[in-house]
Structure 1
Amino acid sequence: MGELTFAGIDGIIILSAFAIIMLVIGYFSGRGEKNIHESLTGYYLAGKNLGIIALFFTLFATQYSGNTIVGYAPTAYRTGFSWLQSISFMTIIIGVYLLFAPRLYVIAKKRNFVTPTDWLEHRFNSKGITLLAIFLMLWGLGNYLLEQLVAIGQAVSGMTGGTIPYQIAVLAFVFVMLAYEWMGGMKAVAFTDVMQGIVLLIGIFAFVAGGIYLAGGSFGSITQFIAETEPAKLAVPAAEVNINWFSMLILVGLGASIYPHAVQRIYAARSEKTLKKSFARMAWMPLLTTGLVFLVGIIGIKLFPGLEGGDSEQLVGLMANEIASINSFFYWIMIIFFGGIVAAIVSTADSVLLSFSSLISNDVYGKFINPKASEHRKVMVGKIVGIIAIFGLLWIAWNPPGTLYEIFVLKFELLVQVFPAFVLGLYWKRLNGKAVFWGMVIGAIVAGVLTFTGNKTVYGIHGGIIGLSLNFIICIVGSYLSSASAKKDPVLEEDMNVVNL
């Protein structure tokens, strides 16, 4: 993010205020809720009672983190107008949600699901599919959590002008996050999402306004400057870039829609009507968030030309320093905004950690290690393992592996392999469990080999998409060559008969 030279002690004060607010929210979220720590549903799904405001903002925080600002703006700076794709893939995520979320909600409410793999176990009754899906989802969550930990350290260190070192920054906010999540579970997470969502929305408008003011007062002058100095960033992208664009749309659109913590927010809605209203409002958010962040990167091309590689990652901090110098109004808006960015990153991390611990407690421990364990014991196991996982990832976060964007791409390659089983299984009764299992295995192997051997794309197509294509082919062809996996289960028949292909 870059150091905010204007912040200093004021930044520390604002960050402390946000930390205290989050702890207070956690305390009051758990206070008076007798069953919140005794029940998987109470702790991990807020009792399935999230109203429209809390659900909207927690969905918003799931899709958009403070890291969206810190990481996406430099990407727009480096690539130019072709990064408009970021708006498209955020929009596609909403479309994919609407494809399956209402139907899944009805089944989840009826069958009392807690985690995403509860649906897969119910649909296929296969330990192999359940274990493989757990692994792929934990992989995605682990990478996403690592991304947030790296971003917390960079954001806090930058905001305090280096007064608080990277490692201390990560540790301090990790302890804050663990404390309020331990006290209030998803309810605390959702209410902190409301706070940081409001701050981010107000702050990003002020950030763009200040940037345009510094760049000459009009967006036309910015595009003219780019045309004269870096015309490649305005040019029509090459064919391989366009292919990569569409590959990214599919990878992110399908992968992000089945984030475990996103699926659990579907489960947590108070009603199907609440869920649909929240998604209807979410449809506008790509323009108001990712669209404005894209503008930040484009404005930065004129304000700070010539930044390359790691230097471009400092763009947001560099711009904030300049915007804060306009007047006292922008000074305090920038400090509060960047405090909100830190809170947003922490709030995203807590969602991921909560989902990670639920998969461990309900799926790994509850289904395979100790099926007779009480729900209270499962919740405690999830909390403890979550803490262990956090400190394991902290060890990696001390030496961040690549730019934030590279970390962002990494998690989708394997996570997206769950999509055919998860969504196709909702609508196609004939989908066969064996075909699903081998589709996931082959897709994950292909995606993993391409990703970890450095061949992240082939002619612009991501390794995850190549693996997903093979996954779909194996699922469909294998299912037609086999008998339907749901052929004699009356309970599953009842669920699948809502819509049938």
Structure 2
Amino acid sequence: MTVAQQQPQLVFGGVDSLIILAMYALMMILVGWLAGRGRDIGKSVTDYYLAGRGLGMVTLFFTLYATQYSGNTVVGYAPQAFREGFSWLQSIPFFTLIIAVYLLFAPRLYVVGRRRGFITPTDWISDRFRSTAVTVLAIILMLWGLANYLLEQLVAIGHAVSGLTGGAIPYGWAVIGFIIVMLTYEWMGGMKAVAVTDALQGIMLMIGIAVMLVGALILTGGGIENLTANIAANEPEKIGVPDMATNINWLSMLVIVAFGAAMYPHAIQRIYSSQSERVLKRSLGRMAWMPFITSGLVFIVGIICIDLYPGLDVGASEQLVGLLANDVASLHPVFYWTMILFFGAIVGAIVSTADSVLLSFSSMVSHDIFGKYIKPDADDRTKVLVGKFAGIVMIALLLWVAWNPPGTLYQIFVLKFEILVQVAPAFILGLYWKRLSAKPVFVGMLAGAALAATLTLTGNSTVYGIHGGAIGLALNFLICVVGSLIFRPSEETQRDIEEMTRLEKVAG
């Protein structure tokens, strides 16, 4: 779900919104300048892509938060709750399970990555399996996921800015303008600039969601205690118990989202960027509460809107957040300015998600493809420059796609998680099971991705309610386990793997 759908004309759109967006843009550029001031970050891939492995607890927490929750979460999840009713409670365990998967592998991966100097997610793949075929396939699957995710954010930026300014800034100019802003501060400050802007946007998002909820409660006229009774009387299907098919579909989606989102390359690089293992664990521990504060509050907003705006069809419900923001902004000048800041924060959050994805994409092209296979003797400065150039090329290609979308673009979006999730066994099994061998991992990833792609692109995205990606993941795990039991690695290789994945503490 994206903010690609146009929002209604906002009462706070116009000059005030232009001023706020300009302030956000200048703030991002200032952050980039401050992050890179006095440091030639272009000399070191570790500095540029991982902030020198020095992200503290507060910054790491908020950059993880911004990675997990974008502006799309606010704008897309409230309409979904409006349409589905209480069954959309599943949006809370979506995000909770992502944290559970992080905790399953992130601390262990941090220790190994810090000791062995990992920069990108596929450094683990390359080091663990020592197979060019496995590494290249993992790079392809991860770059596919990143490219799709970045395309969604670029489209969302254009529509969000255009909607917020009442069309004063057209879609195309909005995309190009904020791309220039994003590239400017990212090039000046690297990961550190990205993480700090993530923190600022995350704080504004949380405040805005809370204020919007307060405004929605005021609009109910104090009748919140009658909310469920009104829904039961007027739209009982939105308060009923889900049927078995819906429950199966839920469970399948939970698997896809939990494992898929945890495999985002920009999320894994934040694991590497942590100042210490303790900082990482504390940040993830606090992240466990955020689904209730973010998607939980957004869910409640959507449920309240069932009573506030009854009878909206699917198309109209996509404009729900804009409708509610208009009414909340009309309550009082404080709400008016808060909604301006909130919608500006939504734009900023989408930009901060896009910059994280672009930075990760650039790092994989420069470090994994150029640095490992094209010019292994390249110095760090050259790799950073190649990454910046690759980012420009990728954005140009994605802008062309956004302006000329193919007929199957929606299916390509759907494939993002189904494809990306197939790298999960290589991380989770690989970190804990020394007998996992390269050939079964390659066959499992390839078979899982091929099965998921075939089901989705042939219009059979679910089988008995189970998503193609979940079926592919199950096949992937099965091939990895059975194949490794049959074709077990040598004793020497197992000893090397055991040495590699030991949990001895590292400095820092």
Q: TM-score if structure 2 supplies the norm length? A: 0.95
Corresponding position of 1:18: 24
1:311 Cα deviation from its structure 2 partner: 2.3
Corresponding position of 1:31: 37
CA distance 1:497–1:270, change in 2 (3 Å): closer
CA distance 1:184–1:200, change in 2 (3 Å): same
1:173 Cα deviation from its structure 2 partner: 0.8
In structure 2, C-alpha distance between the alignment counterparts of 1:408 and 1:243, rounded to whole Å: 22
Per-residue Cα deviation, 1:286-313 (whole angstroms, up to 9, x for no partner): 0000101111211222222222233221
Q: Are residue 122 (structure 1) and residue 127 (structure 2) matched?
A: yes
In structure 2, C-alpha distance between the alignment counterparts of 1:273 and 1:425, rounded to whole Å: 23
Q: 2:105, 2:427 within 8 Å by CA — same for their partners in 1?
A: no
Secondary structure of residue in 1 paired with 2:11: coil
In structure 1, C-alpha distance between the alignment counterparts of 2:70 and 2:491, rounded to whole Å: 39
In structure 1, C-alpha distance between the alignment counterparts of 2:376 and 2:363, rounded to whole Å: 15
In structure 1, C-alpha distance between the alignment counterparts of 2:303 and 2:274, rounded to whole Å: 37
Report the AA paired with residue 25 of structure 2. Answer: A
Q: 2:111, 2:503 within 8 Å by CA — same for their partners in 1?
A: no
1:451 Cα deviation from its structure 2 partner: 1.2
Q: Are residue 335 (structure 1) and residue 340 (structure 2) matched?
A: yes
Counterpart pick for 2:113 among 108, 120, 124: 108
Q: 1:208, 1:292 within 8 Å by CA — same for their partners in 2?
A: yes
In structure 1, C-alpha distance between the alignment counterparts of 2:181 and 2:407, rounded to whole Å: 26
Q: 1:116, 1:263 within 8 Å by CA — same for their partners in 2?
A: yes
In structure 1, C-alpha distance between the alignment counterparts of 2:491 and 2:395, rounded to whole Å: 39
CA distance 1:402–1:158, change in 2 (3 Å): farther
Identity of aligned residues (%): 62
CA distance 1:408–1:79, change in 2 (3 Å): farther
CA distance 1:346–1:172, change in 2 (3 Å): same
Q: 1:72, 1:405 within 8 Å by CA — same for their partners in 2?
A: no
User: Structure 1 stretches of 5 or more lacking a match?
Assistant: none
In structure 2, C-alpha distance between the alignment counterparts of 1:216 and 1:154, rounded to whole Å: 32
Q: 2:125, 2:427 within 8 Å by CA — same for their partners in 1?
A: yes
Q: Which moved more, 1:88-97 or 1:208-217?
A: 208-217
Corresponding position of 2:198: 193
Q: 2:211, 2:338 within 8 Å by CA — same for their partners in 1?
A: yes
In structure 2, C-alpha distance between the alignment counterparts of 1:133 and 1:233, rounded to whole Å: 41
Equivalences for 1:237-248 in 2 at 5 Å? 237-248=242-253
Equivalences for 1:17-416 in 2 at 5 Å? 17-34=23-40, 36-398=41-403, 409-416=414-421
Q: 1:486, 1:493 within 8 Å by CA — same for their partners in 2?
A: no
CA distance 1:156–1:399, change in 2 (3 Å): farther
In structure 2, C-alpha distance between the alignment counterparts of 1:482 and 1:215, rounded to whole Å: 64
Report the AA paired with residue 241 of structure 2. Answer: V
Per-residue Cα deviation, 1:95-138 (whole angstroms, up to 9, x for no partner): 11111111110000000000000001110000111000001001
Q: 2:415, 2:453 within 8 Å by CA — same for their partners in 1?
A: no
Report the AA paired with residue 479 of structure 1. Answer: S
Q: Which moved more, 1:119-128 or 1:66-75?
A: 66-75
CA distance 1:7–1:405, change in 2 (3 Å): farther
In structure 2, C-alpha distance between the alignment counterparts of 1:338 and 1:392, rounded to whole Å: 28
In structure 2, C-alpha distance between the alignment counterparts of 1:192 and 1:46, rounded to whole Å: 13
In structure 1, C-alpha distance between the alignment counterparts of 2:456 and 2:417, rounded to whole Å: 11
CA distance 1:369–1:348, change in 2 (3 Å): same
Corresponding position of 2:13: 7
1:219 Cα deviation from its structure 2 partner: 3.0
Counterpart pick for 1:455 among 436, 460, 466: 460
Q: 1:137, 1:259 within 8 Å by CA — same for their partners in 2?
A: yes
Q: Are residue 479 (structure 1) and residue 479 (structure 2) matched?
A: no
1:27 Cα deviation from its structure 2 partner: 0.8
CA distance 1:485–1:193, change in 2 (3 Å): farther
In structure 2, C-alpha distance between the alignment counterparts of 1:177 and 1:27, rounded to whole Å: 12
Report the AA paired with residue 237 of structure 2. Answer: A
Q: 1:52, 1:277 within 8 Å by CA — same for their partners in 2?
A: yes
Q: Which moved more, 1:211-220 or 1:82-91?
A: 211-220
CA distance 1:53–1:300, change in 2 (3 Å): same
| CA RMSD between the two structures | 1.8
1:222 Cα deviation from its structure 2 partner: 2.5
Q: 1:50, 1:268 within 8 Å by CA — same for their partners in 2?
A: yes
Corresponding position of 1:430: 435
Secondary structure of residue in 2 paired with 1:37: helix
Counterpart pick for 1:418 among 413, 417, 423: 423
Q: TM-score if structure 1 supplies the norm length? A: 0.96
In structure 2, C-alpha distance between the alignment counterparts of 1:452 and 1:384, rounded to whole Å: 32
Q: 2:164, 2:343 within 8 Å by CA — same for their partners in 1?
A: yes
Secondary structure of residue in 2 paired with 1:415: helix
